[in-house]
């Protein structure tokens, strides 16, 4: 099990400008929904964006500390557009 703070730290270490929101979907700490907003995603496909995040949490996933990870990734502009509409 990892804490939401640990997941946020792992992602921010890999993607320094990331804004990270972590939700524990089951209360057990191993099924997480993570939303990441970063300018590092600009010009990248959704698959490439998710690969960046998976790369950051790979160690926790390989030990099954994270069993399931639902990702939502946004550039800052897209995040603003989604929030407004």
* Domain topology for 4-83: GMP Synthetase; Chain A, domain 3 (3.30.300)
Q: What angle do CA 36, 42, 46 make, to 5 degrees?
A: 65
- For residues 33 and 62, what is the distance between their CA atoms, to the nearest angstrom? 17
pLDDT in tens, 23-74: 999 988 889 999 999 999 999 999 999 999 999 999 999 998 999 999 999 9
**pTM for the whole structure:** 0.92
Q: 43's torsion region: left (phi>0), alpha (psi -120 to 50) or beta?
A: left
pLDDT in tens, 4-23: 999 999 999 999 999 999 99
């Amino acid at each position: 099990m990892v804490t939401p703070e640990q997941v946020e730290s792992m992602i921010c270490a890999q993607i320094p400008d990331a804004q990270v929101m972590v939700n524990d979907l089951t209360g057990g700490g191993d099924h997480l929904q993570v939303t990441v907003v970063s300018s590092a995603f600009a010009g990248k496909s959704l698959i490439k964006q998710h690969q960046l995040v998976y790369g950051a949490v790979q160690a926790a996933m390989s030990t099954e500390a994270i069993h399931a990870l639902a990702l939502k990734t946004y550039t800052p502009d897209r995040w603003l557009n989604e929030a407004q509409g």
